[in-house]
Chains A and B, each alone.
Chain A
């Protein structure tokens, strides 16, 4: 891909991949505790007790990096009318039929939706995770709240994981996206095709200089 436009700075990329790596670790350690069929994943972390010990710390780290990411990208993820329209037509995107799609800014409606879903999930995971963190915090909470929290923690994790699978697939599917997050650069064509408004803004900005 041509390195025409810089889409992500090194900081943004590092931040993203830090979250991504932590997500994988949190996810694998969490899944190990979630379903017996996946308990073998605990061996990746040094066994059951280590998995139990590490998982919440990984989670906290993931959350902190994620919040940093949120602060970087929040302004680009405000949902506008055109995003709602985009979402209504998401089926066309899926079918690679993007002719009638509304114009897209730095992020499309799907990406923005993902952003907010991830944020909600992460917050839920943090709060419920603390409630069920037996070693340090659970004694502060009632049993009913703990029971609600384990359930919400699992559900939030599920939504998060499914969303990330979609996210990963979208990255693979839309050629150039993974490269964008790895190198930071996208081609003009990519930008024009997927994020035409952003492209125009970038162009305008460049002309100003």
Chain B
């Protein structure tokens, strides 16, 4: 992606370029078509040259055990039985949601380590990353991971390098069932609407699109059979937003904090300027005998009407 396409930049208080107008893109993951084959995981590792550890089986089909700096996407498997006893195996591709209001970018202290492109992709620039992990703190979806090798934060880039030259992300290209599709956000919403009609006709009354408004919408969206209960899908948050504490920390706290510090220093300065130093007269040159400690400088005491009382 070109630098002109950056619309937001971490730890930057001034405007980003805003000349180029490009459409927002989105990856739509149709959970109802996904068979959990993990081809997307492998394609992601192939394209991005990632090789995680050969780990262990932890008693589930999920592997590796969690997202990591070397695993930017992960199929999560949840077994759910409804009230009637009907079993469902809900399989969700987990990874960065590319929020319109990204908590990671909000939290990041390093200028330009996280950028948001006009097409909606939220990308990490590891050369600017300082490894503090604030992005993890800021993310409502628990996605970024710090590498143990280089202490930089990593996550899905939505294959910004591919998308920038007109290709779809690697996971989309490889998905054998067409459960992952990619295009303009509008088109993806239209496609989702068709899928939801189909799912409703198959008895999934609460089928719907997951494009949570709490983070301004996302550029990775899900079609869910149970959009009313996203938590069924391995804890997908029902109404994600940037945490209020993160908002305060990276919102009002920043200017108010600086203001408080500056103001304190300035008050001191003006106090010095106006009230003057607190001196021990007897120590001053020319002072004799006991200092009249109760006696103060008349100039201040008697003739300054604005002096605090």
Contact = CB atoms under 8 A, between A and B. Distances in A.
Direct contact of A and B (CB under 8 A): yes
Interface of A: 1-2, 32-39, 42, 47-49, 51-53, 91, 94-99, 132, 134-135, 138, 143-144, 146-148, 150-151, 154-155, 158, 161-162, 165-166, 168-169, 172-176, 187, 189-190, 192-194
Interface in B268-297: 268, 271-272, 275-283, 291, 293-294, 296-297
Contacts of B249: 147, 150-151, 154
Contact of A147 (B246, B264, B297): B246
Interface of B: 11-13, 109-111, 128-134, 136-137, 142, 146, 151, 243, 245-246, 248-249, 253-255, 257-258, 260-261, 264-265, 268, 271-272, 275-283, 291, 293-294, 296-297, 300-301, 307-309
A172 B255 CA distance: 27
Most buried by A among B276, B281, B293: B293
A95 to B, nearest CB: 5
A114 to B, nearest CB: 13
A193 B134 contact: no
Contacts of A187: 280, 282-283
Nearest to A32: B109
Nearest to A93: B278
A42 B130 CA distance: 10
Contact of B264 (A32, A37, A155, A165): A165
Most buried by B among A47, A95, A162, A190: A95
A169 B261 contact: no
Contacts of B130: 33, 42, 47-49, 51-52
Contacts of A98: 293-294, 296
A1 B258 CA distance: 36
Contact of A134 (B131, B275, B281, B300): B131
A38 B258 CA distance: 10
A39 B294 contact: no
Contact of B248 (A36, A151, A176, A193): A151
Contacts of B133: 132, 134-135, 138
Contacts of A174: 277-278
Contacts of A166: 264, 268
B149 to A, nearest CB: 12
A192 B291 contact: yes
Contacts of A162: 260-261, 264
Nearest to B133: A134
Contact of B134 (A47, A150, A155): A150
Nearest to B307: A95
A175 B136 contact: no
Nearest to B248: A151
A174 to B, nearest CB: 4
Given A2-B283, A39-B109, A193-B291, A52 B277 contact: no
Given A95-B300, A173-B272, A189-B282, 5 more contacts: A94-B275, A97-B296, A151-B249, A166-B264, A176-B280
